[in-house]
Structure 1
C-alpha cells in the first residue's frame, strides 16, 4: 500500500532516518518492545514504520536517554516522529477514510458537535410529539427513562451504531494486518495472542522500560500515566460489562430495566463510571503538564476530544442513574444518549482506534520473537 499523501511520505522518510540511526546506536534496546522489533531489521519499509509506530507507547524514556536528541545536529526525537506516524496510521487505514480525515483535524469540535446534535434531535422530537413527557417525573415502576424513549427504539439505534463501528474496526484491521505482511491465521495463534493480551491488560510497556514508570509528563519517572490508563481502561470495561449483564437480564431472563441501585449492572456501571471520571480527568491533567517535546501537538484535538467524551459519558450516566425518577431525567437522557452515540461514532477515527492497531502490533511482535533471524536463534 503506497503512501496516502505527501505529508505521510515526508513523515515516513523522516521516520526511516530516525530508525536507521537508532538501529545503529542501540543504546535504548531494553526500553520497550519497539527496539527489539527495530533491531530485527536492516531497512524500514513504510509498513515497518507503521508497525513500529504502533508498538511505541510514547513513554518518553528513549528521548531523555538519547545522545542524538536536540540540540544535537541529528535532531532525533523518536517519540514525536512515531506519534506523528500513528496519527497518519489512523487516517490511512480508516473506513470510510473521509471520516478519519475529518476527526483528525477537528477531534474535539467534531465530537462535541455530534453529541450536541444528537441530543438536540432527541429533545426536539420529544417536544414536538409530547412536551409534557420530556419534563415529567416517572418512577422505576413506570419504566423511568423508558417512559420517554421506548426500549426497542434505543436498542435498535445502538445496535445499528454498534454494527457500523464494528464494521469500521474490521475494515481498518483487514487493511492494516495484511499490510504488515502477515496472514490472517497468524493473528489468532493462541500463544502469541495470549501474550499480547497480557501486555494490554497489564499495560506492560507503560513502565518506562526500567520498571520505574513513564518519563511522562516530564523527565521524572512516574506511574501516574499507567495508573490513569488503568482507571480509564477498566472503567470502560466495567461499563461494557454492565451493558452486557443488563442485556442478559432483559433478553435472557425477561427482567426489565431500570434495575435497582444494588443490582449487578447498576453497581458495575457506577464503579465503571467512577473509573471513567478518575482516568480521563487524570490523563487530561498530566497532558496539560507534559513535556511538549514528547508529542505531536496537532493530535491534541483528537486526544482531548476522546477523553472529554469519556468524561461526559460518565458524568451524564451517573447523573441519570441517581436522578432517573426526577423531572430532570428526560433532558439528561437526551444529553447522555447524544454523548454516548457521539463517542461510539468517533471510536474508529480517533484515539481509541490505537488500541486496535497497538494490539495487532503486539501480536506481531510476539510472532516475530519466535521467528529465527539469519545466524540467530529465535527467543
Structure 2
C-alpha cells in the first residue's frame, strides 16, 4: 500500500497542471492516479487503456477520460480500493460528475447549460407543456379545438409551411449550439490525444463502437451493474431501442421531406409506405427503450453515478417518451376529434426536445462520440510508436 501511495504522490507532482483544476476535477485526478498505479480494471472499457497512456492528468485529459467512461459500474464492483477503503475510489461517480460538468462548461450559450443541469426534468416538462398550450391556443382561435379532420391530415390543423417556419429555426439552432459545444470540446482534448487529425480508419472504428454501444458490455460481455452486483445487459438493450428508435423516427421524417419536396407526395402517409413503416417501428422502439431506461435510472444504485444529474437524465427520457407516445397517438387518432389536441402535445414535446437538446443528456452522445474518435486516433498513434521502436 505504501508503494502505491508513493507512486500516486510522484504522479501527482509530475502532473501539476498548467490550467487549474476545480474540486471535482481534482478528485477525479486523485482517483485516476491511484487507478493508473493499480491497473486492475484496464479490460473494462476504453477509459482505462487511455488512462494508462498517461503519467499525469491535466484538465483536458480528465475531460477526455470522463467522456470515454460509459458509466457501466463494473470497475466500482471490482475495485479493491472502493469504500470502505480509505482511498474511497469510485470512478463511475467521479467521471459522471466531471462529465456533467463538461456539458455545462462547453454549452453554448453557457447560461442555458447551467439552467438545464439543475432543473432538467422541470424545464423539459414545463417547456413542452407551455409550447403545447401555445399551439392549442392557436388552433382554438381558428375554430373548435375538438374537431375531426376529414382525411386524417395534420396539415388541416397546421399548414406545411407554418410547421417548417416553426421548426426549421429551432432545429438549426440546436445543430449550431451542439456543433459549437463539441467543436470547443474537441479543440481542448485534441492536443492531449496526440494532436493529429482523425483519419478514415479512426472514424470507422469510433463509429463502430458508437453504433454497437461496445463499452456497455462491462468489458466481458455480461453487461453492466445497475442496482447491485449482478451484471445485466438491460442498459445496453434499452439504449439500443432508444437510439435506433429515435433514428428510425428521424429517418421517417427525413424521408417524408423527400417525398414532399422531391416526389411531390405530401403527407399523410399510410401503410405500407416507408415513412409510415419507419415511424411506427421507431415510435414503438422508442417507447419501450425510454420506459426501460426510466425504470433502470430510478432504481440505479446511488454510487454508480451523479445524483445531481438525475433531473437532467429523467427530463431527457421523459421528453423522448412523450414524443414517441404522442406521435403514435396522433396516428391512431388521426380520424377522430382528438387528433388536433394530440398533435399539439406531440409538436410541443418535439420543440422542447430541440430547444433543450444541446444542454442535456442528448449532448452526451456527441461528446462521447468525439471522445471515442480521439481514442481511436490516440490508439493508432500509440501502435505506430510501438511498431517503430520494434
Structure-2-length-normalised TM-score: 0.91
| C-alpha contact 2:149 2:156 (8 A) present in aligned 1 | yes
Correspondence 1:135 to 2:149: no
Aligned to 1:355: 365
What SS is found at the alignment partner of 1:160?
A: helix
Correspondence 1:208 to 2:221: no
Using the TM superposition, name which of 174-183 and 232-241 deviates more. 174-183
| C-alpha contact 2:284 2:324 (8 A) present in aligned 1 | yes
Tell me by how many angstroms 1:106 deviates. Answer: 0.3
Aligned to 1:90: 103
| C-alpha contact 1:178 1:184 (8 A) present in aligned 2 | no
Residue 317 to residue 374, structure 1, CA distance change in 2 (3 Å): closer
Tell me by how many angstroms 1:244 deviates. Answer: 0.9
Aligned to 2:123: 110
Aligned to 1:51: 64
Trace 1:217-366 onto structure 2 (pairs within 5 A).
Answer: 217-366=227-376
| C-alpha contact 1:135 1:327 (8 A) present in aligned 2 | yes
Trace 1:25-64 onto structure 2 (pairs within 5 A).
Answer: 25-64=38-77
Which residue, out of 76, 87, 102, partners 2:89? 76
Q: Which runs of 5+ in 2 are unaligned?
A: 1-17
Residue 261 to residue 135, structure 1, CA distance change in 2 (3 Å): farther
The CA distance in 2 between the partners of 1:200 and 1:23, in whole Å, is: 25
Tell me by how many angstroms 1:73 deviates. Answer: 0.4
Using the TM superposition, name which of 196-205 and 214-223 deviates more. 214-223
Tell me by how many angstroms 1:144 deviates. Answer: 1.8
Residue 270 to residue 179, structure 1, CA distance change in 2 (3 Å): same
Number of residue-to-residue matches in the alignment: 371
The CA distance in 2 between the partners of 1:188 and 1:79, in whole Å, is: 28
Using the TM superposition, name which of 241-250 and 118-127 deviates more. 118-127
The CA distance in 2 between the partners of 1:233 and 1:110, in whole Å, is: 22
The CA distance in 1 between the partners of 2:82 and 2:205, in whole Å, is: 33
Correspondence 1:178 to 2:190: no
1:124-149 per-residue CA deviation (whole Å, 9 max, x = no partner) reads 12223x232x3221132xx6211111
The CA distance in 1 between the partners of 2:234 and 2:111, in whole Å, is: 35
The CA distance in 2 between the partners of 1:259 and 1:185, in whole Å, is: 49
What SS is found at the alignment partner of 1:131?
A: coil
Tell me by how many angstroms 1:262 deviates. Answer: 2.4
The CA distance in 1 between the partners of 2:345 and 2:78, in whole Å, is: 47
Correspondence 1:167 to 2:179: no
| C-alpha contact 1:40 1:373 (8 A) present in aligned 2 | no
The CA distance in 2 between the partners of 1:291 and 1:37, in whole Å, is: 26
What SS is found at the alignment partner of 2:381?
A: coil
1:52-98 per-residue CA deviation (whole Å, 9 max, x = no partner) reads 00000001110001010000001111100000000000000000111
The CA distance in 2 between the partners of 1:127 and 1:37, in whole Å, is: 57
The CA distance in 2 between the partners of 1:186 and 1:264, in whole Å, is: 42
Aligned to 2:207: 197
What SS is found at the alignment partner of 1:370?
A: helix
| C-alpha contact 1:69 1:77 (8 A) present in aligned 2 | yes
Tell me by how many angstroms 1:344 deviates. Answer: 1.2
1:145-174 per-residue CA deviation (whole Å, 9 max, x = no partner) reads 111110111012111111100100110012
Structure-1-length-normalised TM-score: 0.94
